[in-house]
Amino acid sequence: MDGKERKILKTLAKQYRNIAEASTEIINLQSILNLPKGTEHFLTDIHGEYEQFNHVLKNGSGSVAKKIDEEFGNTISNKDKRALATLIYYPEEKLEIVQRTEENLEDWYKISLHRLVQMIKRVSSKYTRSKVRKALPKDFAYVIEELITEKEEIQDKEAYYNEIIHTIIRIGRAPQFITALSQLIQRLVIDHLHIVGDIYDRGPGPHVIMDTLCAYHSVDVQWGNHDMVWMGAASGHLACIANVIRLAARYGNLATIEEGYGINLLPLAAFALEVYENTNCDVFQIRYNTDYNTKDLNLDIRMHKAIAIIQFKLEAQLILRHPEFGMDDRKLLDRIDFQRGTVNIGGKDYKMLDMDFPTINPERPFELTEEEAKVMVRLQHAFLSSEKLQRHVRFLYAKGGLYKIYNGNLLYHGCMPMEPDGSFTEVEIYGRKYKGKALYDILEYYARRGYYAKSGAERSDGQDIIWYIWAGKGSPVFGKEKMATFERYFLAEKETHEEKKNSYYRLLDQEETVNSILKEFGLDVKGAHIVNGHVPVEQIHGESPIKCGGKLLIIDGGFSRAYHDKTGIAGYTLVCNSRGLRLAAHEPFESARAAVQNESDILSDFIDVETFPRRKLVADTDTGREIKESIEILEELLEAYRDGTIVEEI
């Protein structure tokens, strides 16, 4: 035993002071290895649709309803099963209705409490008592543990449990207890949550989703390109700030910025009212939903155009700073012929739909006006000063990355940039070329420096890379040849709107391609899967999310309402439990209010992607590997106690 090993064992001996304590912990850890692995839940491309997100989280993509069926079978009606499921999803809202309408409230409490206790026994069965105890709500921890723990020493157990429930009802704590039990079931049904990118943009509530994730018991996030642009905005990067505001304006979601994050957009509003008051803004119409307050429409349209022009200028300046990005074709303001009203793209002239640009100087088209520059300085300060936004972005950095290897699977949002022949694309980043996993790693390194670096130059370089990850053609998170924002606004020709996907998306069904990616990340090609999102799967046209015989899964089915017509569904989610992988295709979700009032769930079609040949245990997981390492060290400590190398504390 060398000095370092002895030092480790001595430190461990402070926690496990003798043979008995070390032996007990070894036995405990060894038993955990033989429990079924926890259930993993995968969601992607949520795009601010917080009500549907919260519902899918509450029902575990059908896991709660499945557990109700397993527990009660034919002993209760389907109507009662739906009522129980609704109670578990929305306990407070359901209780409010029941308290108004139920004639015999005490009986309803009694029946509901018994059913909820049965459910907790079922969903907690795969966990150790210690893990369940840590999940228990503080106010009711002792009582819940009494109800779900078998007590052989009590002869009349039924009377014992009934008396506990009767007392809860008698002292007026039933509503609070039902709420606690329901939330505990939600907590235990899903052991770990994976968000495979794009929490932000399009929908109205990304800040609500982020609040939920910040409080979630176990979660990781693979950054999507829409998350990246918000992370860049939070770091103070002007081009990212302009993109964030433009997208919010385009989808009628400026309230997310103003009310959700407390960011004052008044400087932009005042500027837009003054400068764009008599300007043609027809191509900058708002795509709003039923929640949008149309009294702000004219102002928002002008703000939309004002920030879009600022964005095009800022991005052109950035592209000039970084010719290595290879994005000169995205620098278009200097290609406008202001006399003829055309723009030259790809060597061809196109008629512009809008030529009313009060802030563009044809001689210096990329230069911000003095007023535009002042607006951006004030907006930058507002984004940097938003406590809530900064807290959410720090969470994304703490819990996230561009990819994640978890329990033998590879998770990333977009793609692996590839050439048509299937080789990995080389991308130049500050004078050096990277490809494959190394490209992911270097981009993530700079993305972190862009937020955390103190040095001005290092921070600036990192922020420019964040923008490149958002929109660059070599970005694995973007995965397209170009972002045709300019063309979609100003050109009628649909062919100019096309955003050609990376070759990766044509090669997904080739096993050689998928295996090469798995090997690049050090994974076993036999048992591993790739899970990604980003590009909506058009089920309506017969497209399948299951690629390469189930080795690769694209689980973006259009969570965002903006994609429902395109995909034909309202999102995919994936559940991986001890028995296999199950994909859920969800129908559109009306609202949480309708779900409570009508006791309705999201209608979902389920596809069994893979059934494991044997039930997976904790021993087969990353946690299991860590436990095995702990057991090895504890056994060394045990041996050191036995041969006297380390003295026991008796």
- pLDDT of 549-590, one tens digit each? 899 998 886 676 665 555 554 678 899 999 999 988 877 776
Cα separation of 349 and 339, whole Å?
13
Q: What pLDDT is recorded for position 251?
A: 93
Q: Give the model's confidence band at 39: pLDDT under 50 very low, under 70 low, under 90 confident, else very high.
A: very high
In contact, 490 and 496? CB cutoff 8 Å: no
Cα separation of 208 and 49, whole Å?
9
Considering only CA atoms, which of 79, 112, 81 is closest in space to residue 95?
112
The residue-averaged pLDDT of 12-24 equals 93
Helix (H) or strand (E) holding 575, with range, is: strand 572-576
The residue-averaged pLDDT of 318-329 equals 95
Q: Give the model's confidence band at 155: pLDDT under 50 very low, under 70 low, under 90 confident, else very high.
A: low
Give the residue ranges of DSSP H helices in 50-173.
50-59, 63-72, 78-89, 91-101, 105-123, 129-135, 141-148, 157-170
Question: Which residues face 400 on adjacent strands?
Answer: 221
Q: Which residue has the tokens 């709660």?
A: 64
- pLDDT of 582-611, one tens digit each? 988 877 776 778 778 877 776 677 888 899
The residue-averaged pLDDT of 492-508 equals 93
In contact, 279 and 305? CB cutoff 8 Å: yes
Q: What pLDDT is recorded for position 263?
A: 98
Return the number of other C-beta atoms located less than 10 Å from residue 314's C-beta.
Answer: 22
Considering only CA atoms, which of 282, 290, 234 is closest in space to residue 257?
234
Q: What pLDDT is recorded for position 331?
A: 95
Asked which of 16-25, 73-82, 186-195, 531-540 is least confident by mean pLDDT, the reply is 531-540
Cα separation of 346 and 67, whole Å?
57
Is the pLDDT at 103 greater than 60, yes or no?
Answer: yes
CA angle 565/250/469 to nearest 5° reads: 90
Q: How many CA atoms lie within 13 A of 578 on its CB side?
A: 18
CA angle 210/184/116 to nearest 5° reads: 140
Q: What pLDDT is recorded for position 1?
A: 63
Q: Which residue has the tokens 């389920």?
A: 606
The residue-averaged pLDDT of 343-351 equals 95
Q: What pLDDT is recorded for position 588?
A: 72
Considering only CA atoms, which of 505, 509, 491 is closest in space to residue 533?
505
Please state at what angle helix 436-452 crosses helix 225-234, rounded to 10 degrees: 30
Q: What pLDDT is recorded for position 501?
A: 93
Is the pLDDT at 442 greater than 70, yes or no?
Answer: yes
Q: What pLDDT is recorded for position 178?
A: 93
Is the pLDDT at 228 greater than 80, yes or no?
Answer: yes
* Long-range pairs of 592-597 with CB within 8 A, sequence gap ≥ 24: 592/51, 592/54, 592/55, 592/90, 592/93, 593/93, 595/55, 595/86, 595/89, 595/90, 596/86, 596/90, 596/93, 596/94, 596/97, 597/97
Q: What average pLDDT does the structure give for the chain?
A: 91
Q: At 304, is the secondary structure helix, strand, or coil?
A: helix
β-pairing, 40-43 vs 572-576, is antiparallel
The residue-averaged pLDDT of 262-277 equals 97
- pLDDT of 365-387, one tens digit each? 999 999 999 999 999 999 999 99
- pLDDT of 452-488, one tens digit each? 999 889 999 999 999 999 999 999 999 999 999 999 9
In contact, 162 and 146? CB cutoff 8 Å: no
Q: What pLDDT is recorded for position 215?
A: 94
